[in-house]
């Protein structure tokens, strides 16, 4: 059984009688990269703020393994980039880093250069952070999060503003930190395909509720290839599927059915449907993207912001 | 942790340009105050005659300082000429603004007192408080300091220590600048630093710090740099004088007392205090400073602990 690093128990945060997150239970394994997936306003940032000690939960609790009853010790081992990076626009990257290093009792000036180089800001010199591009600010925010060599990184939309090359570099940096330094990472991103490339665990959150928590393997199975049948009336298809021995299928809506097994039998299935007099609009084998799966599981509903 | 945070906050403070600009303004203002009190022959400039002064005195006006200044102005035989006038009358016309002012012969403690009385130092403290504390919310700095998530009082304490240190530096500079202006504009550089003078120095520092912590508290509540500086400058510039007078009038009419609101405001106590104050005034200033400091400190700390960061 894998060792848990962080466990939450019914975490709830209410702002002015409006719940931002409700009864959130997540279980992050030590050494994992945990992807938090959700729409804007779903509650991802609130969860991260609570876990970083920046916000107090209205109810519920969380526990970092190995720090029972001593949250302050755990907080000294956490690095976070939540929402926009907290930077002094009139200071250089070095000065921004120096402030945090001093607060963490780190006096070695080479340490700052190392961290800046790690995120690709080794040569920015005295350029003020206020003149950085969005991508550079994100990089500096991650460098700041790495000060103190944390065991746990909380990264809220860390690849926002990065160009494709920057995203690839960031993915490589995070993978390296995870594999070589053993840092457990909680990461949220709306670029789901990117998240899918590095995350080993997932939680899907919608309207403050965790809808699903899974490993990358489990999610891969859910996003597996399938036969997609489109007809005028999906209910007329179900008896045909049953009579032909198909059991792993799902009705998506009144016109669409997914079949997750025997993908090579698509011709056979098509023939059976035609012979049964079902008007097939289309039948094909498709692969579900993570994004599609996410939209399906969250109901594909329009987000109403309050 | 406290020491590390003090070092971090000190480093942050030293990166603020205002930290270096404010002493320049302080120096300029000290020179201006010095010129007014040491080199400006106020009464002569206003055209008062010796006879005017006597009449004002007989009418019960408190004109001791003016009279002294007047005598100084007259006795130095400045470029004043008696204009021809009708028989039995004489007027004095000013031909030079500069001469020997009311504090020309005073020591550095009195020059420092005249500077503190001008209250302009509170404006610099207000600007620094607004920038130093306002930056925390403008940048979201505390999001970087997760190590203090359960030690917000330590972080707040470190900030107050750094802030108080800078206020003390301004205070010391004010004293040194006062000495410099006395050297350049006064009769001679001299001082009579007794116990009362030392007490005055530290009490004015304490009141200035209490004023600064009040603004810090305001900044933690409103989380706005601009609002903090604006409120600080309004309080420091005496713009509330009319409101205070109105308040006094209403209270005294309602309760038939001689209550004065300004006696319970740090900035006004700062202007009332002097190195030769009576015990009651000193005691009141200590209590006012302590109460404002404590209430402001606790309020800011409570807000910082209760509110979410970011």
- Cα of A87 to nearest chain B Cα, Å: 6
β-pair type (A152-156, A78-81):
parallel
B148 reaches A (C-beta below 8 A): yes
Q: How far apart are CA A129 and CA A124, in angstroms?
A: 10
Question: Are residues B15 and A91, on separate chains, in Cβ contact within 8 Å?
Answer: yes
- Cβ atoms of A80 and B143 closer than 8 Å: yes
The answer, for B85 touching chain A at a CB cutoff of 8 Å, is no
b/e A225-258 (16+ beta carbons within 10 angstroms → b): ebbbbbbeebeebeebbeeeebeebeeeeeebbb
Please answer yes or no on whether A84 and B140 come within 8 Å at the CB atom. Answer: yes
Q: With contact defined as beta carbons under 8 Å apart, do B266 and B214 qualify? A: yes
- Are A79 and B15 in contact (CB < 8 Å)? no
- Determine phi and psi for B102, rounding to 5 degrees: -65, -25
What pLDDT, on a 0 to 100 scale, did the predictor assign at position B78?
Answer: 45
Which of these, A212, A214, A195, lies nearest to A289 by C-alpha position? A195
Arithmetic mean of pLDDT over chain B = 84
Instruction: Identify the H or E element spanning B11.
Output: helix B2-14
Angle, helices B120-139 vs B195-222, to 10°: value is 30
Which residues in chain B touch residue A54, judged by CB atoms under 8 angstroms apart? 142-143, 146, 149, 308-310
The residue with greater pLDDT, B97 or A60, is A60
Is A98's CB within 8 Å of B141's CB?
no
Residue A135, phi then psi, degrees to nearest 5: -65, -40
- Residue in chain B lying closest to A104 (CA): B4
A304 burial via Cβ count (<10 Å: 0-12, 13-18, 19+): exposed
**In this predicted structure, what is the pLDDT of residue B167?**
97
Please name every residue paired with A237 in a beta bridge, in sequence order, or none if there are none: none
CA dihedral sign, ordered A32, A198, A24, A221: negative
Cα B241 to Cα B268: distance, rounded to the nearest angstrom? 10
**Backbone φ, ψ for residue A43 (5° rounding):** 120, 5
pLDDT(B84) > 50: no
Q: How far apart are CA B168 and CA B162, in angstroms?
A: 10
Compare CB distances from A86 to B4, B15, B143 and report the shortest one's residue.
Answer: B143
What pLDDT does B58 receive? 67
CB B209 within 8 A of CB B165: no
Closest to B141 (Cβ–Cβ): which among A86, A104, A105?
A: A86
**In this complex, do B310 and A99 lie within 8 Å of one another by their Cβ atoms?**
no
User: Residue B96: what pLDDT?
Assistant: 59
- Say if residue B100's pLDDT is above 80: no
- Judged by CB atoms closer than 8 Å, whether chains meet at A99 and B8 is answered as yes
Q: Looking at the DSSP assignment, which residues form a beta bridge with residue A126? A: none
Per-residue pLDDT at A57 exceeds 80: yes
Determine the pLDDT at residue B133: 96
pLDDT for residue A296: 75
Optimal mutation site among A99, A140, A186, interface B, most CBs of chain B within 10 A: A99
Rounded to an integer, what distance in angstroms lies between the CA atom of residue A156 and that of residue A49?
10
Q: Which of A126, A208, A143 is nearest to A177 (CA)?
A: A143
Average pLDDT over residues B259-288: 88
Query: Which residues of chain B does A148 touch, with a Cβ-Cβ cutoff of 8 Å?
Result: 147
On whether any CB of chain A is under 8 Å from the CB of B82, the answer is no
Q: What is the per-residue pLDDT across A229-244, written as a single tens digit (0 to 9) for each?
A: 999 888 889 999 999 9
Mutate to test the interface with B, among A92, A103, A152 (most CBs of B within 10 A): A103
- Put simply, whether B20 touches A (Cβ < 8 Å) is no
Task: Say yes or no: ipTM exceeds 0.85.
Answer: no
Spatial distance between the Cα atoms of A137 and A129, rounded to a whole number of angstroms? 7
Higher pLDDT, B16 or B306: B16
pLDDT in tens, A185-211: 999 987 777 788 889 998 988 889 999
The predicted structure's pLDDT at residue B77: 45
């Amino acid at each position: 059984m894998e060792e848990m690093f962080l466990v939450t128990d019914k975490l709830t945060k209410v702002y002015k009688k409006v719940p931002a997150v409700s009864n959130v239970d997540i279980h992050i394994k030590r050494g994992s990269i945990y992807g938090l997936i959700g729409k804007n306003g779903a509650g991802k940032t609130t969860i991260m703020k609570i876990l970083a000690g920046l916000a107090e939960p209205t109810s519920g609790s969380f526990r970092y393994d190995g720090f029972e009853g001593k949250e302050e010790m755990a907080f000294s081992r956490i690095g976070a980039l939540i929402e926009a990076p907290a930077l002094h626009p009139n200071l250089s990257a070095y000065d921004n880093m120096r402030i945090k290093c001093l607060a963490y009792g780190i006096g070695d000036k080479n340490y700052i250069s190392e961290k800046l180089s790690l995120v690709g800001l080794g040569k920015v010199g005295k350029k003020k952070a206020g003149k950085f591009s969005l991508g550079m600010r994100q990089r500096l925010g991650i460098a700041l999060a790495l000060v103190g060599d944390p065991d746990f990184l909380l990264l809220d939309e860390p690849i926002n503003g990065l160009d494709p090359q920057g995203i690839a570099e960031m993915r490589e940096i995070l993978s390296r930190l995870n594999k070589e330094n053993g840092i457990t990472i909680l990461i949220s991103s709306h670029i789901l395909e990117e998240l899918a490339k590095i995350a080993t665990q997932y939680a899907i959150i919608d309207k403050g509720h965790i809808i699903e928590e899974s490993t990358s393997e489990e999610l891969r199975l859910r996003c597996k290839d399938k036969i997609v049948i489109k007809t005028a009336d999906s209910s007329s298809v179900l008896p045909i599927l049953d009579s032909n021995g198909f059991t792993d299928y799902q009705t998506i809506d009144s016109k669409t059915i997914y079949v997750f097994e025997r993908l090579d039998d698509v011709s056979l299935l098509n023939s059976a449907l035609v012979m049964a007099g079902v008007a097939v609009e289309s039948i094909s084998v498709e692969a579900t993207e993570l994004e599609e799966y996410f939209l399906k599981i969250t109901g594909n509903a329009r987000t109403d912001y309050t | 942790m406290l020491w590390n945070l003090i070092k971090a906050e000190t480093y942050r403070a030293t990166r603020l340009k205002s930290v270096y600009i404010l002493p320049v303004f302080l120096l300029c203002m000290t020179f201006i105050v010095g010129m007014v009190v040491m080199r400006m022959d106020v009464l002569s400039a206003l055209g008062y005659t010796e006879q005017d002064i006597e009449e004002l005195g007989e009418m019960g006006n408190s004109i001791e300082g003016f009279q002294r200044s007047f005598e100084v102005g007259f006795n130095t035989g400045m470029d004043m000429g008696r204009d021809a006038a009708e028989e039995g009358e004489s007027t004095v016309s000013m031909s030079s603004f500069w001469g020997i002012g009311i504090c020309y012969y005073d020591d550095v403690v009195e020059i420092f007192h005249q500077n503190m009385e001008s209250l302009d130092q509170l404006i610099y403290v207000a600007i620094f408080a607004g920038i130093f504390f306002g930056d925390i919310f403008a940048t979201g700095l505390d999001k970087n300091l997760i190590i203090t998530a359960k030690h917000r009082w330590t972080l707040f304490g470190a900030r107050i220590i750094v802030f108080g240190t800078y206020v003390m530096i301004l205070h010391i500079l004010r004293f040194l600048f006062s000495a410099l202006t006395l050297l350049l504009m006064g009769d001679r550089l001299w001082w009579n630093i007794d116990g009362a003078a030392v007490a005055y120095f530290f009490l004015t520092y304490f009141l200035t710090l209490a004023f600064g912590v009040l603004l810090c508290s305001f900044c933690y509540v409103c989380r706005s740099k601009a609002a903090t500086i604006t409120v600080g400058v309004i309080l420091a510039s005496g713009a509330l004088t009319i409101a205070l007078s109105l308040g006094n009038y209403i209270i005294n009419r309602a309760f038939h007392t001689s209550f004065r609101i300004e006696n319970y405001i740090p900035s006004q106590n700062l202007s009332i205090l002097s190195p030769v104050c009576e015990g009651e005034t000193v005691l009141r200033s200590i209590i006012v400073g302590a109460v404002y400091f404590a209430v402001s400190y606790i309020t800011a700390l409570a807000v910082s602990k209760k509110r979410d960061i970011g």
